[in-house]
Structure 1
Amino acid sequence: MMADQPPPLEATPLLNEVPLLPHMVNGDSIQQASKSCPVILVQVNPGETFTITTEDGHMQCIQGPAHVPLMSPNGSMPPIFVPPGYVSQVVEENGVRKVVVVPHSEFPTSMHPPPPPPPHVPHYMHHPHALLPHPPHPVFPPVGTGELPPQFIHQHPPPHVFQEQEPRSHGRTNFIQRDERSLKMQEHLKKRLKDRQASGHTNNKLNSPPSSPHKVVNSSNATIPNGNGKGQQGAGGALKQKQIGKTKGSPEAEMGESDTESKKCDTHLSIGKPVVSDIQARSAVLSWNLPVSSQNGESHSHSPAAFTFEVAISNSGKNGKFKSVYVGEELTITLPDLRPATDYHARVSATSSSIKESISELVSFTTESCEPDCPAAPKLINRTKNSLSLQWKSSNDNGSKITNFLLEWDEGKSGPFKECYYGHLKQYKLTKLSPSTRYSLRLAAKNDIGMSGFSEPVSYYTAGMVPPAPAPPVLLEAGVTWMALRWIPPPGVSSDDSLTYTLDMEEEGSGYGFQPQYNGDELSCTLRNLRRSTSYRFRLFAYNSEGKSSPSEVVEHSTNPDKPGPPSKPVVKGKIHSHSVKVVWEPPKDNGGSDISKYFLEISEASAGGKWDTVYSGAQREHVCDHLRPGTSYRLRVSCVSKGGESQASDVTTVTMSAVPPGPCPAPALAGKAKPKEIPLQWGPPAVDGGSDITEYILEMANSEQDEHRVVYQGPAAEYVVTNLLPGRTYCFWIRAGNKVGFGPYSDKAELSTAPGPPEQCCKPLITCKSATCAVVSWESPACNGAEIVEYRLDWGQVEGSMHIIYTGPCQSYEVKGLTPATTYYCRVQAVNVAGVGLFGETSVVTTPPSVPAAVAVLHLLEEEQMEISAPFSTCLAIQWEEPCCHGAEITGYNIEYGEKQLVTVGRNTTHVLENLLPDTLYRIRIQAINSLGVGPFSHSMKAKTKPLPPDPPHLECVVFSYQSLKLKWGEGPSRALITNPTQFNLQMEDRFGRFVTVYNGPCHTYKVQRLSESTTYYFRIQAYNDAGEGGFSQVYAFTTTKSPPASLKAPKANQLEENTYEITWEPLQPMKGDSIVYILQLAAGREFDQVYKGPETSFRLPGVQSNCEYRVRVCAGRQSQDPAGSPSCCSAASPSS
């Protein structure tokens, strides 16, 4: 190792007692270790420190002078990197190798200036270029190659060792002027090293270097022409080496030994010292460069993704414990969560899949100071009714001394915090406070940098007064062995006060006085294990932190009595009757602490399944149970009631009543439909069986209630069919039930009737003709066969085998109307009752007398093409009809009625033409036939209308005038043609030759004549026609077209002449057919336009224009007529506004 004056090797003692790594010799002597593994001694000079890394990751520093023994299992020598101006030499003595670092004594003149030291090795000074040669090559071990454990990496000495050498950086002669023995040893070591490097191998495998020595190049030895040393490792930097590959042709490869590992080239990784920037109170930015690796003497660079970086920091010194804070591939990170005003040391390590880990040099920095940490909440050290004494501790000042504290409180109002103390003391007393009041406080600390945050609020109460006497406790609920009591806080006590209560109790007659039963802060309690029906006295005390109140008033409460026990089993007293029985019972043995106030006697039928009914409630201990059913078994039980509640029921007593004959049965009823000669009956058992089962029934019958009864059935069945009866007769029936005791009374009477039979056949009906169209039919009632006849049915028809019913009803006569005169009819009658329908009687025949003819059925109007001769249909109507039925007398003629009851008689013809009618008039026409017996009825009315006369010409007018068209209108009607309009119009106009030609022919009432000349008069006439013919032409009408308007102008232009005056100009138009042009100028300041000029000029000066106001102007041209009035006859459309 390097030192100012290294002592001789003999003067440096061997430190066998130094604790070594697991690879170091742990025996008593170096010789014992050398027998098993090669031992290498590293000489540590006085004033220097040798740092090694143990297997568990801790750093171990060894102060010089000392010899550090290292052990390599594979016999390899670790390379020792030395600072510039020094050289390492290997000396072997007695099988032990020593590495000695001595100053370089030779200074060749042809050497290049040394490169500057790397940034992470700041301890070595830059030497003059003329004095320092290239850094020497590392010493190669003279034994077989192998992988170097990480514990063999040599560390630089602490910075203070070389800081002392800075003043002597230019006095290198101190290292050259050594004693003679040291110089001789140096020369001896250099000679031996050269001999070994040139001698090749020897037969001794352990002491010979390999035939192809591996060249390990330190990153600091890379030649940089410009002298820039960025990214270089300094001598002695912490590096890891890995030998890869085996040299071909070496003796070891030829020997083929299986235990020899393949030789690999050594690869060195160098990472520069990280840089700290942007240092804040709790964060800092750490950045570093990519590491540079060297392999077989050549430098290689890598991409950022090829490395994984780990950042570790320590705040307990350079030799303290480091904590990993980042692992990743970034080259710049931010260190968060740092402590203010704290010294930190950081290092960066780089690893990859093919290169071993490299650790950078430590970088140190100190975080900035900031405001203090939040202090802890103040503590209460004393309190009174009107004061609170507080004390607190300082928090971490974060690098700046705390100068003051800020104490805030809410003034006991639970409102915003206000300042109550500001100073450097650590205690404060709040005075003039209210008793029993809560105060909330918080604390903050201040230094020269700023104010810290406030602590968590804390609340304290001032001392209070003894509470007043509370109100006595109130009974909420009482039980047999417990009581629930409740009380309220004493009056005038704040809700924030913490009170406790003590409840004292005294049992009546115990003689022990008041004893505490409850102590707590609740406002209620339940006392248990008390005696039933016992009175207790209570009083209440209230406590707070100041003491005990006076007792409340004494109040007395009692527990409830218990339920009584069940009474004795009820027993029968006296004889058991059929409807009643008397029972008695004894009181319970335990009344529960109170007298029995009432007994309850309950009864239930033994077969009812447990439904109990209370039949007695009172203080007596006997009762007569009546209104019972004979022969029924009853269960009886007794319970009692006191102030303690209701007892359980007593044991059950069963009593059976005496039986009696059964009660009356329900009246017999029909079991089905009665027949004419039999009635099926059924009945039910009596409601009361008398306490014994029913064994038989007796059914009796009589023709009436006064007649003698006769038994028709006796037996156990509940139904019977009575036969040999007459149809339609009513009979009376009774039923009796019997048991083992006897028969019961008769049931109610049941009156039932046999079913009736259909009526007998009716007699032949009698027919009397009242007229030719009406006949009266009458008949007699037949035998009804036990049921009243409800209706008759009359069958009527013109053919005996095809008759139909025309009447159904209860009457025995019917008037048949609407008959045909001189026609033969047949009829018969049938009777109906509830039993059915009787047979039809004999058939009667009758012929009606003749009568007037029937009404004409068919009457219609003849069309023009159906007539043989032409008639004026405006004044004539032709009709035709069919001859009706004559009703037994020949038709002689017809009467035709039309108009206002005008009657025309004609002969037997079936056609006729009505003449001299009004045109376009609606007539109602009907006809009747005539025979020897008179006139028949009129036919249905038929409506017919005569055709109208040809129409008159309508009035013609012009509704729209234009300079090239005229729109004409005539008559009243729609402008468009309708299908239903029968009137057509013929419009004619006079041409230039004086002839009228048709310009329109159709049903419309308007027409527009186009392609006319301006200011020209045209002549028109019109004619109307319809189905009645063509009407005459109207008078001749004259209509004149208008003059054509001038063309539209472009938008006018506005030019400002003065501040509020504008000149409006527009383009001129040429006169039209001798008419001059007049211009109209309009102005609008809002929505509406107003006329401001009218005349022949093409410009106008507009004065009085307001500033900052928008105006719009437009112009139109008018045609000035030659008439004396001089007004324009027409105007063009207005120009666009501008």
Structure 2
Amino acid sequence: MAEHPPLLDTTQILSSDISLLSAPIVSADGTQQVILVQVNPGEAFTIRREDGQFQCITGPAQVPMMSPNGSVPPIYVPPGYAPQVIEDNGVRRVVVVPQAPEFHPGGHTVIHRSPHPPLPGFIPVPTMMPPPPRHMYSPVTGAGDMATQYMPQYQSSQVYGDVDAHSTHGRSNFRDERSSKTYERLQKKLKDRQGTQKDKMSSPPSSPQKCPSPVNEHNGLIKGQNASGVNTGSAKNKSGKGKGVAQIDTEIEEKDEETKAFEVHLSTILKPVASDIQARTVVLTWSPPSSLLNGETDERTTVPELYGYEILISSTGKDGKYKSVYAGEETSVTLNDLKPATDYHAKVQAGYNSIKGTPSEAETFTTLSCEPDIPNPPRIANRTKNSLTLQWKAPSDNGSKIQSFILEWDEGKGNGEFCQCYMGLQKQFKITKLSPAMGCKFRLSAKNDYGTSGFSEEVLYYTSGCAPSMPASPVLTKAGVTWLSLQWSKPSGTPSDEGISYILEMEEETSGYGFKPKYDGEDLAYTVKNLRRSTKYKFKVIAYNSEGKSNPSEVVEFTTCPDKPGVPVKPSVKGKIHSHSFKITWDPPKDNGGAAITKYVVEMAEGSNGNKWDMIYSGATREHLCDRLNPGSFYRFRVYCISDGGQSAVSESLLVQTPAVPPGPCLPPRLQGRPKAKEIQLRWGPPLVDGGSPISCYGVEMSPVERDEPREVYQGSEVECTVSSLLPGKTYSFRLRAANKMGVGRLSLTEL
């Protein structure tokens, strides 16, 4: 069922092919009354018989009900509607009509309904409204068969409708957009109040008799259908907390409508008012959005205590580009840094949280004119030994034409006192009768009808003099393998504004070509590139101006850095490889990077594929004895070198295997089990050291204790044997030794 009480529209629930009886119908004489209850197809109606049992009647059907006392039965209607009894030709009809609110927005015409609205047909009770347990009517018996008639299914929104939706053209004809939004907010509040009433209603009977229909019913309606018989599936779970798609869409639509209505409210803000207009400032004030609607206060509209405001201004016309200059909660702001004599257009935009209204209309104002802006300092156009020619540009006149420029100077005294040397409309001036290399400070201002601007920054210019003095020698700032960065300073006593250029000359130590220019310009630093590594170069610098060149600076010498050395040659074995040690040697790299090798580093890894490298040597010699090695093992060796230029890459690795040796002594054999009279069983383990080669066989020697005549009683690869043909009561000693491909190991100790 829709949450808003929709319109009772009969045009969509009546069928032109079926005649319907009005329900309920009550005769005017006040005797027993017959009420016809219309049951729609697919719906069910629950009644209680005279014997107290419940009966479920499925549609389509007409159920005649009798009122025993002749009174009109109470009609239960959804919130927002009211029953109305109308008598027509001696027959009373109970008509369900909506309760129209008393709110009538501007331009809204009140709809007058006829006292006899054409509303025949049975109005089904909504799903959430239980049938009253107090008034039960028995079916009419003996009244004859009655033709079964039914009504077509209809949507609940067509039964309980909006008051003003009775006329489809009503809104567009008598309601403007703003009043429409206000009305919709009112409907939402009515819905909230009705929702509170719904929570207070009683629940349906707890234990009705099961209906013979296979479809469950509740309050006369099929489970899974709304009040109009339209299937809603599993829109609600058993706990009642789920929401159907239609309900969610309705909530989203209502939320959007509420947001739009609030945007309309924010858009009612009036344009700001400009006051205290000055050349560069103005005060803007405004009022919060109006809560009046067509001259009346809308008490239902929730007005926030504080709004957010944004001021937008444009200096390119009312339809030009606006920029934000203020954002806050105040209703008055002073704008600074405006342009004098300029037309501005200001708008205010109200907002609350993330909702913003449409900007207001534009307030137009013009700032006042004033004195010109401060001009830029004059610049030097030409200089000689006894004159300076200055030029400048006109600043903004701020609405009044500039009448004159005022140029002042300190007469070359340098005491901070200025006097006027020019006043007029020209934008250049030549000062004559100066001395060579004379420094003078200048400043400039402009004047119009509103006053004189402030003075520009002071600038110092010198007249031409003689050739520059000898500069200092260049200094090295940073050196690389193929480059050198140098810098130098101006000659002492040179005016700061005098244009001086420099020539940097370089000589390679072994070239034999002498000094050659590498740089000519006004910069005081330069990086010489494409040099050779670890090579010495000589430099000197010369300064010059329009008067001539200075003497060259003193010669300085700088050296490029060496490069990192190349990769050393792969190491090799020197001499014989022993089982526990051998010697390796290597050659230096073909390219030492321009610097002598200071150190070699040898690294070793165990195994033919080992990658765990450990440093075993670091020094200047090019050979090393590798000792404390294991027989029959693989080792890898590599070497790298270090010089002043850095560390080289590692060389190729050398793989070496030490030769194997005969195995070490075994532990004495052990007696296994209890000895028998003529035989015993022995067992042993491998030697602790296999000599770098797998054990191929074992040998066991036996000798009687009373005489030293050993003899071999077992030879093989097993680690156990049985010695037989012994004499009872005799004592024997046994010794064990192992052998590999390199030979036979030593005998173990004697085992008795």
Q: Which structure's relative contact order is higher, taking Cα pairs within 8 Å and 6+ residues apart?
A: 2
TM-score (norm 1): 0.26
Bigger Rg over Cα: 1
TM-score (norm 2): 0.37
